[in-house]
Structures are given as structure tokens and as C-alpha cells.
Amino acid sequence: MYAGVVTPPLIIGQAVGLDTAARTRLIAASLLIAGLATLLQTLGVKGFVGNRLPFVNAASSAGIAPILAIAENSATGHQLPAIYGAVMVAGVFCLAVGPFFGRLLRFFPPLVTGVVITLIGVTLMPVPVTWAQGGDKEAADFGDMRFLALAAFTLVVILLFQRFGRGFLKQVALLMGLFIGTLAAIPFGLADFAALRSAPVAAVPEPFAFGAPEFQPAAILSLCIVMLVLMTESSAGMLALGEICERRTDGRTITRGLRTDGIATLVGPVFGGFPTSAFAQNVGVVSLTRVRSRYVVAVAGGALIVLGAFPMLGAVVSLVPMPVLGGAGIVLFGSIAVSGIRTLSEAGLDDSSNIVLVAVSLGAGIIPLAAPTFYADFPAWAQTVLGSGISAGALVAVSLNLFFHHLGTRGSAQNAAPALKSS
């Protein structure tokens, strides 16, 4: 779970060119926001916020690719302000739509969410590949065999823990790969300990440390689309976890849970956070461990706050060399794509219309990956929205789902999200 929490700030910080010290602050802020959001979600304020289910809330990997697209279309020095402005508006959007989202779920069945989740994994795959080669394409040693060997070594370590590990060790295979890979990088001088020595032991994240938010319409539209996907995932996760915990999960529970997502997404950028949602991994963890107490997860939220208050711990994460991140990232982002494929398998792909929907949506989402300059002559707003494979694929998937399954009387139960009771 910790790896999932620190992955978005780590990737985004690297992508926008932050130095190690700034990445350390970004990671610390994300941990703090995740802890506060988790406490709010698990303990809640009765009748207003928090679904009171054992959910960890944190920055979602689904927001990474659109955020990277925003960064690419923003001037140097304005990337994070543009990102944070869009994230804040996405939080307001979530708060506004949340109370009515149960009625919109039917437009986001597994057919649509499966496409989007698959695209998240696929469109992010070039990131770890670049990291495996050293991270800096302009560097003279980009693609050096030392980097490739270290990335391959990290990947092998993860595979070995996954194959031969038992219980806890198998669950933390990714973290063990990062840890052992970093140790292996030390003799090659690839682990920079300067930031660790200079990082303060304890500190409180500074508000707007990366600049005041800027509000760009195209960036806002892109993240609002992603927020709809996150809300769909959160809603599905709440329904599944409620069933496992034998807790009634109705429309009001979903609304309170989404309200927590919205508040965390709105407030998070003040300190350095990103789009937040309830972690779907919780469903699997609770099902596996049978630990259903929300108070146990609340304690985990408190631990995240403590981790965020000690930047030294964030500096340790920042020590991980690029090639090590590359080896681990191949597993992480590949797993996201597999999760999307699993979701699509539930969507009734024996229907030819569904096959066409998935094919066209995936094609639209892969265009920016296969031909990065495809939208070069489009207006700036279109480049930001369509330049993200996730946004483009989501727009096409939602549109085709409406066309095939909602215009007229044609459709099937497989292509409808579960209805929520209002009481």
C-alpha cells in the first residue's frame, strides 16, 4: 500500500524535473494528505463525510498520465501550478457531482472503466522504460548497460519474491525489489545520499510551496474526466467492500465516501497532493486478511501522517535510482493494465458492439503513445485533452457506450453499472 501512495508523487516529481529535495517534500505532502483523508474516510463525520469502511484514501495512479500531459503542455516553472489548479477544480467537481453520481454510474459500466484502466497501464509503460535507461534522454550515458542491468536485476528480484515469497514477503515483492535494487546501485555510485543528509528530520509541508495554482481550461477538463473514472472506481470499491464487511452500502454511503475524495482532492494541492480516491487494493486486502475493522485502517492513516511529518523518510524514497524505478515500474504499470483487462472480461465481449467499442477506444487511447505529434496542429486545449491517451480513450468509450447501449432500447445488463438505493 505504501508503494501505491508514494508512486504518483515520485513519478510526477521526476517528470516535471524537481530535484531530490523537492521530490522529498512532494512525497511527504502526499503521505500527509493520504493519512488525513484515510482518517476522514474511516472515522467520518456522521451524516456528512466518510463512508466508515476500511479504506485507505490516497493519490491515485489514474491521474498520472493526464498530469504528465498537462506538464508537457505547460511552460517550465508553470507545470505544477497548472496541475494543482486543475486538481483543485476536479475536487470541486467531485463535491458537486458526488450527491448525484449514483444516477450517472450506468454510463460507466465495466466496459468503459475496463478500457480506461487498461489505458492507464499501457500509456504509462514508456515511463519505466525511459527510467530503465537512466531517465534523462539528453544525457550522454542514456541507455548505458549499467542502467539496463540494474533495471533487469530489480525486475528479477521482484519476480523471485513473487515466485518464492510466502505471506507478507510475497505481498511486498515490489518494495523488496526497490530496496534490494537500491542497495545494488550503491557500488556504481547511482544512489545519491546528499538529499538524505540535508533533509530535515521533521517538518510541516509549506502551503503552495510549488507556486500558486493556475487554472487552464484544457487541463481542468482533462482532470475532471479522470475524476469521473476515479469516482466510478471508488463507488465500485465501496459496494464490494461493504459486501465483504457485511455493511449496508447505499446511495448515502457512496455520497459520503465521494465527498471525502472531493475534499482531499480540493485541499491536497495546497500542500502538494494530487487527485485522491479510495484505494481499490483494500478490497483484496480485507478479503484476504479478513480484518474488517475500520479502526485498524484508521491506525494506518495515522501512520501515514507520521511518515508525512518526517521528510527524512521521504528522502529515503527519493534515493531510489531511476533504473531501479524502471524495473519496478514495468511490474506496477503492467499490473494496472492487467487489472483493466480483468475488468473488461466481465463486460460481455461476446457482443460484437462491445468488441468494436473496446477496439476503437483503445485505438484512440494509444494514438498519443504511437504518434506523439499526431495532435501537434490541434488547438492547445485539444492537445491537452486528446494528448492524454486516458482522456481520449475515456471520451470515446463513454460516447460509444451511449451510442450502442443507451440511444434507443438496445442494451444488456452486463453493460449497466449496479443501481444504488437512496436509503
**Per-residue cell: 131:** 527510467
Residue-wise pLDDT for 324-349, tens only, equals: 988 988 887 788 788 788 888 887 78
pLDDT value for 423: 37
Q: Is residue 304 part of a domain?
A: yes
How far is Cα 415 from Cα 400, in angstroms, rounded to an integer?
12
Q: What H or E segment, with its residue span, contains residue 57?
A: strand 57-59
Q: Mean pLDDT lowest for which of 24-33, 192-201, 246-255, 398-407?
A: 192-201
Q: Is residue 422 part of a domain?
A: no
Beta-strand ranges (E) seen in 186-307 are: 276-278
Contact yes or no for 248/242 (Cβ under 8 A): yes
Q: Is residue 420 part of a domain?
A: no
How far is Cα 85 from Cα 59, in angstroms, rounded to an integer?
16
Q: Is residue 142 part of a domain?
A: yes
Contact yes or no for 230/63 (Cβ under 8 A): yes
pTM of the full predicted structure? 0.73
Q: Is residue 421 part of a domain?
A: no
> How confident is residue 284, by pLDDT bands cut at 50, 70 and 90?
low
Region label for 135, one of left (φ > 0), alpha (ψ between -120 and 50) or beta (otherwise): left
Which has more pLDDT, 11 or 259? 259
> How confident is residue 422, by pLDDT bands cut at 50, 70 and 90?
very low
Residue-wise pLDDT for 205-216, tens only, equals: 788 888 889 998
pLDDT value for 396: 92
Residues 256-269 have a mean pLDDT of: 93
Q: Calculate ∠ Cα 305-308-314, nearest 5°.
A: 150
Closest CA to 59 of 100, 87, 92: 87
**Domain containing 358: what range?**
2-415
Number of domains in the chain: 1
**Per-residue cell: 335:** 499490473
- Average pLDDT score, the chain: 83
> How confident is residue 148, by pLDDT bands cut at 50, 70 and 90?
very high
Place of cell 510475497: 170
> How confident is residue 416, by pLDDT bands cut at 50, 70 and 90?
low
Residue-wise pLDDT for 149-173, tens only, equals: 999 999 999 999 999 988 778 878 8
How far is Cα 388 from Cα 147, in angstroms, rounded to an integer?
28
Which has more pLDDT, 203 or 231? 231
Residue-wise pLDDT for 48-103, tens only, equals: 888 888 888 888 877 887 788 788 777 766 788 999 999 999 999 999 998 888 77
Reduced to 3 states (helix: H, G, I; strand: E, B; else coil), residue 276 is: strand
Q: List Cβ neighbours of 307 (8 Å cut-off, separation of 6 or more).
A: 28, 31, 35, 313, 314
pLDDT value for 289: 59
Residue-wise pLDDT for 378-396, tens only, equals: 887 787 678 778 778 888 9
Reduced to 3 states (helix: H, G, I; strand: E, B; else coil), residue 58 is: strand
Per-residue b/e over 125-155, b at no fewer than 16 CB within 10 Å? bebbebbbbbbeeeeeeeeeeebbebbbbbb
